Amino acid sequence: MPEQSVKSKKGKTVVLQGKWLNVPNMFTLSRVLIAPVIIAIMVTEPRMPFGIPYNIVAGVLFIIAALTDKADGYFARKHSLASKLGATLDPIADKLLMLPLFVALWYVELIPLWVVLVVCGRDLVVSVIRLEGVRKGIAFPASWSGKIKMFLQSLTAAVIIFLPQYADGVPVRALVYLMAAVTLYSGIIYVIRARTEVFGAVERSAAADGED
């Protein structure tokens, strides 16, 4: 399929359709492929070569996976490879990395179940809102609170993976509670925005149609 592009407000060309096999999408897909390896290591606690602790291997893989989230956006912007497919795959890859990982951390008793429920519940609500926005043709980009949420989730997961022996310590627990609070807050902000930008837009349209 030939590529189609448009000029953005800043004058940069943004690819809307074209070949999906590009560097940003490969970074995104690599995140999806690394995720089950990390989870398998955390759950099975295998003996690693050269006596390397399993959690160090899992932690390094997680850092690599987290960095691909930055790399795909960087390459997409730098080389004008932003695409609808990439924009769709990126949040899906994030969820396929973070949600199963938090479930695995609960399974190995490193975080409480209620934290997993907060993280998964928030993403479920946000996913429903985004799907509704897509169905109605309404763009709904991530908010600043969502970006902070992702940073704190990644930081929390990394700390617990690298330092599981301190998972019950006060500093780590405080980080977990802060992450859960920001996750819940970002979900509430998302719902408030959706009420105005997604559902409110439909209500305004319906009201306008009734003013004939």
Residue with tokens 């929390």: 156
**CA distances for 86 relative to 16, 25, 29, 63, 64, angstroms:** 10, 6, 10, 21, 19
Between CA 139 and CA 148 the distance in angstroms is: 20
* pTM as predicted: 0.78
185: Cβ contacts below 8 Å, ≥ 6 apart: 145
Q: Are 90 and 28 in contact (CB under 8 A)?
A: yes
Output the six-digit token pair for 3: 């590529």
Torsion, Cα of 67, 73, 76, 77 (10° steps)? -120
Q: Which amino acid is at 179?
A: M
Between CA 91 and CA 96 the distance in angstroms is: 9
Per-residue pLDDT of the chain (212 residues; tens, 9 = 90+): 344 443 444 444 444 344 556 777 787 888 889 999 999 999 999 999 999 999 999 999 999 998 887 776 666 666 565 666 556 677 788 889 999 999 999 999 999 999 999 999 999 998 888 887 777 777 666 678 888 999 999 999 999 999 999 999 999 999 999 999 999 999 999 888 888 776 665 444 544 444 44
